Structure 1
Amino acid sequence: MKYFQKALIAICILSACSKPEPIDFSIVPYPSELKVEQGQFELSPNTQLLLQDEAAFTEEVAFFQSLMKQILGSELSTQKGENSIEIRKSAEHSNPESYSLEISSDKIILEAGHAQGIFYGMTTLRQLLPATVESGNLSDQLLLPALSIQDSPKYKWRAMHLDVSRHFFSMDYLHRYVDLLSLYKLNKLHLHLTDDQGWRMEIKQYPELTGQGAWREFNKHDSICIDRSKEDARFALDPKHIKMHGETPVYGGYYTQDELREFVAYAQSKHVEIVPEIDMPGHMMAAIKVYPELTCGTPGWGRVFSTPLCPVKEEVYTFVENVLTEVMDVFPSPYIHIGADEVDKGRWEESAACQQFMKAIGMKDLEELQGYFVNRVSDFLIKNGKKVVVWDEAISGDIDSSLTVMYWRAWVASVPDRVVKKGNDVILAPGDPFYFSNPKSKLFDIYNKQLLSSKFPTELSNKIKGMQACLWTETIPSEELADALIFPDALALAERAWSSEENQDWDSFKSRLQIQLKRLENMGVKMDYAPSSELLPFLNVDKELQQIGIRFESEMSEPMIYYTTDGTTPTVNSKLYEGEFFVKGSANIAAAVFKDGELVEPVLRKQVDYHKAIGKTVEYLKPWNTAYPAGDAGSLTDGYRGTNSNSDGYWQGFTNDLEVIVDMGEVTDLNSFSATFMQNIGPGIFMPGVVEVAVSSDGDSFTKVLEIENEVPIDQKDLILKDFKGSLKGEEARYVKVIAKNTNHAFIFVDELVIN
């Protein structure tokens, strides 16, 4: 997409005119079609507002007029003026969210078939105005560039999420959150209302859910926040959400049903749908503490998570249906999210009642029991006209194909494939990169990272409903800190979910983002975003010329980059990066951004090898884990090296030993071997205990020529990449057998077998 670059050139020409506010514009998300025309439109209080149909789009027109009053000091006139803005209803726009916008020197025509489209056209107009209009300062005259826009979204589900259970957020913040989402055409707010740490919605039939369940004594995450607040005030617990219970401070809060109804109506006026989540059968400790009879045994904690609701007690379903009836009464959204994630089934396994029920029904395992719970609750909601959303763990039970599955476990990359093949719709919300609560989430990954495996059945792409990012708030106690983590990441999500793939351009987005950052600052959003100087390497394996191309990406716009190919730290006397370059054989790339002649950390270091085994056949004597196929059987000899993420599509994962034979095609002089493995003990990824290499001329009789012991301790934290390498002593052989022992019986990940 180069439309934006062309637009900038045209606007620079326009800016040379002697007009009050030079035009410098940015639209996020980028429209489906945008053409820059000649001229400019002068917006002023004398501009006339023309309505083709006075009865159509009344709420949207009222919103637009309030915006004009905020910007110009008065609403637009209905009397003939120097120029006009005309709002039209057109049957040509069958998509409710599509619109067209024509801006010429004397007229703006905004046209859509539905209220949503008109509203989104208005937000586009708003973004075309200078960022300074958001500061509250009035202007007599503003310029808009002459443009022609046709626009409609890629996905129907474009969502942000907010966890108000772990830490509580005020109604004022929720309203402001909706304002910001709507500005970037994000149309859903997934509100996580209940969890172990707090119940946030008033339920009239069970008043103690908020009377007791909305409040807690400080927990371990509160303690973490309090400790961090000593250095960063944004981690301080908001005193508005703390009260004394006797002599003990407790944290919490809840929303009344009237408050929620008003909020839902406000969000609807901005075309943001509030999707409520009542997480069950796990993550229910806030309710179970109040009503312990809802669980199968003693309330508390199981092996990993809290004890869940008991799926074989009828009183549990009475409770759930009563709660959901009140939820449905407050939230008109077609969707209700019921969670079904991270269920600790230990109590079910120990429960005689559960075991008897499973035997009587003929259930084979506890996953089927969870499926029974999910389907029974879903049936109740469906009978009441609702659609049901669940987290992706629910698919381990036999759930109904009408349920929508929210894919979050990025480390199980095969989930979307399995979901759509079962007939369910899927929402893409992988934790990497769409959990914004992780401060390490990268804007580049949010905008660019591949979310579907290479095996995803493209003929079922229509089963993908859209995208969502989440903000989990265990260690996010303040609104200011929430802002800093949500923005500007939400803008990358918005463009990815709205704009077509051909209109998604990373360089263009980075440029347009700069103006949006100013807009957000003027709107009072507290951000601490600074483009990272970290370089991201991308490889291009050219088998024809037997070379590897290397290019760098960065969050910075047009950074100055110097690099070396021998591993030495670059200086300004090193090679200047001017685009993709190629190396033959092996190279140890080192590259960094330079500013004012000085190196800016970090230095990127990347080993690349065009080695003898590239493109050679690999026989797997033991299979890879199907969740991490990378590029399937060709992954280990394709020349591509992995990044720091095991789910990037380049690392191949194994839960048994890695045991493969590489067929070099003919007897070959073998001089060296290298393979990079990963350790990240959090998600259970460990180094192999030992790597062995054996060679053979006939493929039957192998001689071991290399054994490399692991030296990385199994308790060493953080991400570690280690090369297991050594000499093959000039052996002549056709077949190379590689064995990596999975001594920890966990995951092992490898990206390439380098043989020279």
Structure 2
Amino acid sequence: MKHLVNALLAILILTSCSKPDPVDFSIIPYPADLKLGEGQFVLSANTQLLIEDTGDFAQEVEFFQTMMKQALGAELSAEPAENTIEIRKSSVDSNPESYRLEIRSDKVILEAGHPQGIFYGMSTLRQLLPASVETGEVSAQLVLPALRIQDSPKYDWRAMHLDVSRHFFSMDYLHRYVDLLSLYKLNKLHLHLTDDQGWRMEIKQYPELTEQGAWRTFNKHDSICMERSVEDPRFALDPKHIKMRGDAPVYGGYYTQDELKQFVAYAQSKHVEVVPEIDMPGHMMAAISVYPELTCGTPGWGRVFSTPLCPVKEEVYTFVENVLTEVMDVFPSRYIHIGADEVDLSSWDKSSACQQFMKANGMEDVEELQAYFVNRVSDFLMENDRKVVVWDEAISGDIDSSLSIMYWRAWVASVPERVVKKGNEVILAPGDPFYFSNPKAKLFDVYNKQLLSSKFPTALSHKIKGMQGSLWTETIPSEELADALIFPDALALAERAWSSDENQGWNSFKSRLQPQLHRLRTMGVQLDYAPSAELLPFLNVDKDAEQIGVRFESELSEPTVYYTTDGSTPTLESNLYKGEFFVKGSASIAAAAFEDGQLVEPVLKKQVDYHKAIGKAVEYLKPWNTAYPAGDAGTLTDGYRGTNSNSDGYWQGFTNDVEVIVDMGEETDLRSFSATFMQNIGPGIFMPGEVEVLVSSDGEHFTSALEIANDVPADQKGLLFKDFEGSLEGQKGRYLKVIAKNARPGFIFTDEFVIN
């Protein structure tokens, strides 16, 4: 990163002769351009506030004065003073969210062409003030460092999501959520208002949607929460959202249209656009249970998902348009999200009305029927000057190119490429790593993980609309637990979506994060974050020197790390990690962080091999699955090993057998073969039934040299890895054919064929 934040932290801990509060220089997200000046600006209630905006920034100035009153005990003066803060309207037509901030010893100038930019400049100033300003602790003077910032966002869509259907959240929480998003320049709140488990928005034409559809008897996820609450009270259902219906308790709640209008106006004042989602045609059981005639048959559940709306009934479109008309009356957002994910199409397959409609309209399958539904609903919204967002399953049909596609299925890595080639914009919201409801989500991955495959066409990068983190609340019933899962991950997302690539730096972010965690705690955020001591390995294959570089990353700031290369547990007598080191041949790396001379779990284990096949050509007799190309034909002999995620760009996925030929380039004395496979039965990833290695001198006549059976049960849960390895001692050949049998309907994944 071109600005050395650690140095700035040392420089900018400033105090004046009257000992105002120290400054924590910790801006998140990092500005596009920041230059440090000399001196400091001493802020007090006597500082003059000059407004040169012809009234365009009245709302933002009111917000700023409220902040000043909370920090200094009084609003800034309009009278001439020794120093001033000037709010200026720029005549330059720029990005509406950009701003310029200059702090000198006698003057602060905040300039922007639009209210959004002024607000974000004020948010930056707010972060330069001590965290005590958030609590109402009054100071006579506060110090700001002399600097110049020119700032503008990388993406237009910088969003967080909240599912209020699975578990309900109060209006007070929604207001605080907006406050926190706006502080970190996140500009959209995707509000998931309806799902199978509850309808949360009042629809006046259909009052039973909330009278009945907003309430449920306790379901399986409520039971899971209740069980977990015995050990962790954050999993307890909020009694505010439970009432008695007859003799039975029911859970739920909803927002009136007046409440939502007030909330939307509040969010607008903080420049957060609330994007409502009414999920359809699937995930509609809360509505279908009230109006069963909206389905093609009997309401219920398919193998996984609920019965969807019927796409060939006109009364369904009447219902949908009436609902969306009221949604548009409440939400002025440019965007309406209509879901279109996880639709159980089996009821359409079985429906004679659907089959007749498909035949009459030349449709070959129910996916075309899904596209018909999406396009018809989208047309209605677009006729009302709204833009439409859908989840990425919708691309299986021929949908309009004006729709924005929200990419969430991280296990289908080809989605962004397919979306932009169809002409649609894509919003990056992959479940790994941007589903913060997963307690295993890593802050490192949120900040660093590659989201686009190597095949993504860079010429279409302008089609990436932005990024979004999501919080699904099946097992998140309380505001305290929601806080703990959203933060600090949302800050990593905010920087990734706002700051340019060259201004993003993991070490810098870790340093700047610590003061922000303190700020969040003073604001009442229920944080449950401690930096993990887990080390993450990264490899660098150097073909010229025939070696592999190894480096470690972690959430710890400047950890002390010791490592071994023989697989033994590291001690203080082991190798001290001082940066990237190199392995020739093979090494079993074991590494761990140490604090106060003691090893801190977990211990990292990583096999590294510079083997004979690195860089050798691979011929695929059967193709990889295009969703998981990794590094294409070079993947299996490039020296890079996969991580714990099958979508990390190193694991190559297959839905048929793996059958490839490795060309060693010349007749070679062979010693051994090894290939690692993974199993994770949740998303349908299994070990191969067996792996066979055959050897040939001419590439035509192969002799079986090694057979390795799988001994991992197909029903064994969890993330598992197995090395299919064996001896090739005494074998000689130029070509090795490797066959891994796909024994079950699903994926097999492998990352490297180690041949020595």
**TM-score, normalised via structure 2 length:** 0.99
Give yes or no for the alignment of 1:552 onto 2:552: yes
Could you say which residue in structure 2 is the equivalent of 1:655?
A: 655
Matches within 5 A, 1:536-575: 536-575=536-575
Give yes or no for the alignment of 1:248 onto 2:248: yes
Code of the residue aligned with 2:383 in structure 1: it is: K
Code of the residue aligned with 1:143 in structure 2: it is: V
Contact 1:221/1:474 (<8 A) preserved: yes
Give yes or no for the alignment of 1:116 onto 2:116: yes
CA shift for structure 1 position 255:
0.3
Could you say which residue in structure 2 is the equivalent of 1:66?
A: 66
Q: Show CA shifts across 1:398-439 (max 9, x none).
A: 101011000000000000000000000000000000000000
Q: Show CA shifts across 1:629-669 (max 9, x none).
A: 00000000000000000000000000000000000000011
Tell me the distance in 2 between the aligned counterparts of 1:143 and 1:753: 59
CA shift for structure 1 position 80:
1.0
Matches within 5 A, 1:277-292: 277-292=277-292
Tell me the distance in 2 between the aligned counterparts of 1:692 and 1:204: 65
Give yes or no for the alignment of 1:206 onto 2:209: no
Code of the residue aligned with 1:113 in structure 2: it is: G
Matches within 5 A, 1:245-394: 245-394=245-394
Code of the residue aligned with 1:262 in structure 2: it is: Q
Code of the residue aligned with 1:160 in structure 2: it is: M
Tell me the distance in 1 between the aligned counterparts of 2:598 and 2:338: 53
Tell me the distance in 1 between the aligned counterparts of 2:753 and 2:18: 63
Tell me the secondary structure at the aligned position of residue 735 of structure 1. Answer: strand
Could you say which residue in structure 2 is the equivalent of 1:470?
A: 470
The 1:18/1:577 distance shift into structure 2, 3 A limit, reads farther
CA shift for structure 1 position 53:
2.9
CA shift for structure 1 position 5:
2.6
Code of the residue aligned with 2:403 in structure 1: it is: L
CA shift for structure 1 position 7:
5.1
Tell me the secondary structure at the aligned position of residue 3 of structure 1. Answer: coil
Tell me the secondary structure at the aligned position of residue 109 of structure 2. Answer: strand
Could you say which residue in structure 2 is the equivalent of 1:603?
A: 603
Q: Which moved more, 1:433-442 or 1:49-58?
A: 49-58
Q: Show CA shifts across 1:67-86 (max 9, x none).
A: 00111111000001221100
Could you say which residue in structure 2 is the equivalent of 1:426?
A: 426
Q: Which moved more, 1:26-35 or 1:46-55?
A: 46-55
Matches within 5 A, 1:571-586: 571-586=571-586
Code of the residue aligned with 1:615 in structure 2: it is: G
Tell me the secondary structure at the aligned position of residue 341 of structure 1. Answer: coil
Tell me the distance in 1 between the aligned counterparts of 2:544 and 2:401: 46
Code of the residue aligned with 2:452 in structure 1: it is: L
Tell me the secondary structure at the aligned position of residue 526 of structure 2. Answer: coil
Code of the residue aligned with 1:471 in structure 2: it is: L
Give yes or no for the alignment of 1:458 onto 2:462: no
Tell me the distance in 2 between the aligned counterparts of 1:360 and 1:463: 36
Contact 2:14/2:143 (<8 A) preserved: no
Tell me the distance in 2 between the aligned counterparts of 1:21 and 1:330: 43
Contact 2:13/2:22 (<8 A) preserved: no
Could you say which residue in structure 2 is the equivalent of 1:535?
A: 535
The 1:553/1:17 distance shift into structure 2, 3 A limit, reads farther
Identity of aligned residues (%): 81
Code of the residue aligned with 1:684 in structure 2: it is: G
Code of the residue aligned with 1:86 in structure 2: it is: E
**TM-score, normalised via structure 1 length:** 0.99
CA shift for structure 1 position 20:
2.5
Q: Show CA shifts across 1:325-371 (max 9, x none).
A: 00001000010000000000111111000000001101000100000
Could you say which residue in structure 2 is the equivalent of 1:57?
A: 57
Which structure 2 residue ranges, 5 or more long, are not aligned?
Answer: none
Contact 2:410/2:432 (<8 A) preserved: yes
Code of the residue aligned with 1:60 in structure 2: it is: E
The 1:267/1:12 distance shift into structure 2, 3 A limit, reads closer
CA shift for structure 1 position 450:
0.3
Code of the residue aligned with 1:296 in structure 2: it is: C
CA shift for structure 1 position 6:
6.4
Could you say which residue in structure 2 is the equivalent of 1:164?
A: 164
CA shift for structure 1 position 380:
0.5
Tell me the secondary structure at the aligned position of residue 221 of structure 2. Answer: helix
Could you say which residue in structure 1 is the equivalent of 2:195?
A: 195
Could you say which residue in structure 1 is the equivalent of 2:754?
A: 754
Q: How many aligned residue pairs are there?
A: 756
Code of the residue aligned with 1:592 in structure 2: it is: A
Contact 1:11/1:24 (<8 A) preserved: no
Contact 1:11/1:23 (<8 A) preserved: no
Code of the residue aligned with 1:607 in structure 2: it is: Q
CA shift for structure 1 position 25:
1.5
Give yes or no for the alignment of 1:735 onto 2:735: yes
Contact 1:11/1:145 (<8 A) preserved: no
CA shift for structure 1 position 93:
4.8
Tell me the secondary structure at the aligned position of residue 587 of structure 1. Answer: strand
Tell me the distance in 1 between the aligned counterparts of 2:481 and 2:688: 40
CA shift for structure 1 position 155:
0.1
Tell me the secondary structure at the aligned position of residue 263 of structure 1. Answer: helix
Q: Which moved more, 1:722-731 or 1:585-594?
A: 722-731
| Aligned alpha-carbon RMSD (Å) | 1.0
Tell me the secondary structure at the aligned position of residue 438 of structure 1. Answer: coil
Contact 1:25/1:130 (<8 A) preserved: no
Contact 1:303/1:346 (<8 A) preserved: no
Tell me the distance in 1 between the aligned counterparts of 2:379 and 2:667: 64
Contact 1:684/1:747 (<8 A) preserved: yes
Tell me the distance in 2 between the aligned counterparts of 1:2 and 1:501: 11
Tell me the distance in 2 between the aligned counterparts of 1:12 and 1:521: 22
Which structure 1 residue ranges, 5 or more long, are not aligned?
Answer: none
Matches within 5 A, 1:478-497: 478-497=478-497
Matches within 5 A, 1:230-241: 230-241=230-241
Tell me the distance in 2 between the aligned counterparts of 1:658 and 1:390: 34
Q: Show CA shifts across 1:307-339 (max 9, x none).
A: 000000000000000000000010000100000
Could you say which residue in structure 2 is the equivalent of 1:151?
A: 151
